[in-house]
Amino acid sequence: MITEKYQGKPGPYKELAGNEADFDNLPLDVANGSTFDEIDTGKSYMFDAENKVWCPFSRGGGGGGGDVNVGPVTITSNGEYQAPDGYAYNPITANVSNTYVAADEGKVVNNGALEEQTTSVATANGVVDTTLIKELTVNVQSGGGPVPTNWAQIQEMVRDGTIGQSFSIGDQVTTPILEGATATISGGGVTAATVDARAFAIAAGWRNQMKEFAYDGADWKTDNAPVNLADYGITPTGTPTSSTVITVTLNMREIGLDVTAIDLDVPVDSSKTHALRMTFHELYFSKVFEPAQAWIYCENGLPAGTYHVTYSGSSKEFTLASDIPAGGQIGCTSFTSNLPNQLKVYADKNATSATNVATAAGNSGTAFPEYSLTAVTPYSLEINGQTYTGAINIVPKAQSGSNRWKTSYMRAWLNSSDSDIRVGADARFSRTIGATVTPGLLYRLDPALVNVLGKTYQRTALLAFDGGGDGQYEDLEEKVFLLSQYDVDGTNINNVAEQAVNAAGVAQGQCTYYINANDQRRIKYNYDANASNWWLRSPYAASAINVQYVYSYGYVSNSIASYGNYAAPSLCII
Q: How confident is the model at residue 186 (pLDDT cuts 50, 70, 90)?
A: very high
For residue 15, pLDDT over 70 is answered with no
Identify the pLDDT of residue 51. 75
Q: How many domains does the chain have?
A: 5
Residue 265 in contact with residue 275, Cβ under 8 Å?
yes
For residue 10, pLDDT over 70 is answered with no
Residue 426 in contact with residue 312, Cβ under 8 Å?
no
Identify the pLDDT of residue 62. 42
Asked if residue 409 and residue 385 are part of one domain, the reply reads no
Asked if residue 368 and residue 461 are part of one domain, the reply reads no
Asked if residue 412 and residue 385 are part of one domain, the reply reads no
pLDDT in tens, 428-443: 999 999 999 999 999 9
Asked if residue 547 and residue 411 are part of one domain, the reply reads yes
Q: How confident is the model at residue 58 (pLDDT cuts 50, 70, 90)?
A: low
Identify the pLDDT of residue 140. 56
Reduced to 3 states, what is the DSSP secondary structure of residue 267? strand
Average pLDDT along the chain:
89
Q: What is the DSSP letter of 291?
A: P
Q: Is 450 exposed, middle or buried (0-12, 13-18, 19+ CB in 10 A)?
A: middle
The reply to whether 261 falls in a domain is: no
**The last residue of a domain, from among 340, 371, 392:** 392
Mean per-residue pLDDT for 4-8?
41
Cis peptide before 91 (omega within 30 of 0): yes
Q: Is the sign of the CA dihedral 267, 272, 276, 280 positive or negative? A: negative
Mean per-residue pLDDT for 215-225?
96
Lowest-confidence segment of 65-69, 124-128, 361-365, 435-439 by average pLDDT: 65-69
Identify the pLDDT of residue 2. 36
**The last residue of a domain, from among 326, 361, 392:** 392
For residue 156, pLDDT over 70 is answered with yes
What's the rounded Cα separation, in Å, for the pair 443 and 156?
24
Asked if residue 562 and residue 471 are part of one domain, the reply reads yes
What's the rounded Cα separation, in Å, for the pair 46 and 54?
5
Identify the pLDDT of residue 60. 55
Asked if residue 562 and residue 437 are part of one domain, the reply reads yes
The reply to whether 268 falls in a domain is: no
**The last residue of a domain, from among 360, 392, 424:** 392
The reply to whether 62 falls in a domain is: yes
The reply to whether 388 falls in a domain is: yes
Q: Is the sign of the CA dihedral 266, 272, 277, 283 positive or negative? A: negative
Pick the closest to residue 442 from 569, 259, 565 (CA basis): 569
Pick the closest to residue 440 from 456, 463, 405, 416 (CA basis): 416
pTM score: 0.75
Asked if residue 312 and residue 214 are part of one domain, the reply reads no
Mean per-residue pLDDT for 9-22?
40
Asked if residue 564 and residue 432 are part of one domain, the reply reads yes
Mean per-residue pLDDT for 544-566?
97
pLDDT in tens, 344-357: 999 999 999 999 99
What's the rounded Cα separation, in Å, for the pair 215 and 211?
13
The reply to whether 483 falls in a domain is: yes
Identify the pLDDT of residue 393. 98
Asked if residue 301 and residue 222 are part of one domain, the reply reads no
Residue ranges making up the domain that contains 455? 285-290+404-573
Residue 368 in contact with residue 339, Cβ under 8 Å?
no
β partners of residue 136: 120
Cis peptide before 146 (omega within 30 of 0): no
The reply to whether 270 falls in a domain is: no
What's the rounded Cα separation, in Å, for the pair 386 and 376?
23
Asked if residue 422 and residue 381 are part of one domain, the reply reads no
Identify the pLDDT of residue 79. 74
The reply to whether 265 falls in a domain is: no
What's the rounded Cα separation, in Å, for the pair 339 and 336?
5
pLDDT in tens, 291-340: 999 999 999 999 999 999 999 999 999 999 999 999 999 999 999 999 99
Q: Which residue has the higher pLDDT, 219 or 137?
A: 219
Asked if residue 563 and residue 436 are part of one domain, the reply reads yes
The reply to whether 149 falls in a domain is: no
β partners of residue 302: 324
Asked if residue 553 and residue 417 are part of one domain, the reply reads yes
pLDDT in tens, 240-297: 999 999 999 999 999 999 999 999 999 999 999 999 999 999 999 999 999 999 999 9
Helix residue spans in 299-437 (DSSP H): 395-400, 409-414
Q: How confident is the model at residue 222 (pLDDT cuts 50, 70, 90)?
A: very high
